[in-house]
């Protein structure tokens, strides 16, 4: 009778919040995305039902079908968990699903998750707001519907870190727009693929080379002075202080 929108965190099951893990363990049904790791699904009851609504490229499951599914499951079962990678409200369409449930009179609750927008850079040892290097961070999607609208030109700002989700396929265009917008082509870039999973991989470069990097989705792209930092560098910095 309640649908819980639970953030699964970026990967490993021990990065799910305690509340999220409890809801997963109680669920009669779990409706999950492709990005959710198997180890997170294993937090569920053995007799729970799993429904994969992952939107693989080429395999179309419309958002309205997912909304309808959640409404009907919410009416049939006590505890439904809608499990989403990262945080349910960061590019997860969680808000739309909650509205659909509200309109249908089905109770819902949201459980925050650790978003890949911040945990991704952290996996590479990048503090996205490192004092003196960055005054803030802009989190954007690299996915544009239809034609390329040149949006990234307006995001060129050397004082901010830029974190791009869903940006792998548009990476060449993102880089050239940022350079056209005035960002130096030497700006550090880091791409973190499948952060916090056994498949994690970190690639470092500069902006002019972003387009030709051999990287694949899911990945976080960090652009800005902070992207040059790494755990090793942070340790060196700390030890030079002592």
Kindly identify the residues of this chain, within the stretch 162-201, that bind ligand SAH according to CB under 6 A: 165-166, 192, 194-197
Nearer to ligand SAH, 184 or 203 (CB): 203
Structure tokens at 73: 């499951």
> How far is Cα 210 from Cα 103, in angstroms, rounded to an integer?
43
Tell me: does residue 219 bind ligand SAH (CB under 6 A).
Answer: yes
Catalytic residue at 28?
Answer: no
**Residue 188 CB, nearest approach to ligand SAH (Å):** 18
Distances (CA, A) of 33 to 40, 91, 158: 12, 13, 35
How far apart are the C-alpha atoms of 163 and 15, rounded to whole Å?
Answer: 20
Least CB distance to ligand SAH at residue 137 (A): 14
Which residues between 127 and 166 bind ligand SAH (CB under 6 A)? 165-166
Residue placing its CB nearer to ligand SAH in the complex, 83 or 207: 83
State yes or no: is 55 an active-site residue. yes
- Work out how close the CB of 172 gets to ligand SAH at its nearest, in angstroms, rounded to a whole number: 16
Q: How far is CA 218 from CA 67, 77, 191, 193, 194, in A?
A: 24, 32, 10, 6, 6
Q: Give the list of residues 6+ apart from residue 125 with CB closer than 8 angstroms, or none.
A: 229, 230, 231, 232, 233, 234
Q: Which of residues 63-102 bind ligand SAH (CB under 6 A)?
A: 84-87, 90-92
Catalytic residue among 12, 28, 47, 55: 55
CB of 138 to ligand SAH, least distance (A): 15
DSSP symbol at 11: S
Entry field: residues in the chain: 242
Cβ proximity to ligand SAH: between 139 and 184 the closer is 139
Tell me: does residue 121 bind ligand SAH (CB under 6 A).
Answer: no
């Amino acid at each position: 009778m309640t649908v819980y929108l639970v953030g699964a965190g970026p990967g490993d099951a021990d990065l799910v919040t305690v509340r999220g893990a409890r809801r997963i363990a109680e669920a009669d049904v779990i409706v999950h995305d492709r990005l959710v790791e198997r180890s997170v699904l294993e937090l569920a009851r053995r007799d729970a039902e799993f429904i994969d609504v992952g939107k693989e490229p080429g395999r179309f499951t419309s958002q309205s079908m997912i909304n309808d599914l959640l409404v009907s499951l919410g009416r049939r079962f006590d505890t439904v968990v809608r499990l989403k990678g990262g945080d349910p409200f960061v590019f997860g369409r969680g808000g739309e699903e909650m509205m659909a449930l509200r309109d249908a009179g089905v109770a819902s609750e949201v459980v925050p998750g650790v978003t890949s927008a911040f945990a991704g850079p952290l996996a590479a040892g990048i503090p996205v707001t490192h004092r003196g290097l960055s005054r803030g961070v802009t989190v954007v999607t690299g996915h544009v519907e239809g034609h390329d609208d040149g949006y990234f030109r307006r995001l060129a700002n050397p004082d901010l870190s830029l974190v791009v989700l869903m940006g792998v396929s548009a990476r060449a265009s993102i880089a050239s727009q940022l350079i056209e917008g005035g960002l130096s082509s030497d700006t550090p870039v880091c791409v973190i693929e499948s952060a916090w999973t056994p498949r994690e991989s970190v690639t470092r470069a500069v902006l002019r080379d972003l387009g030709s990097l051999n990287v694949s989705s899911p990945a976080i792209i960090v652009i800005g002075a902070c992207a040059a930092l790494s755990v090793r560098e942070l340790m060196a910095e700390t030890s030079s202080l002592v």
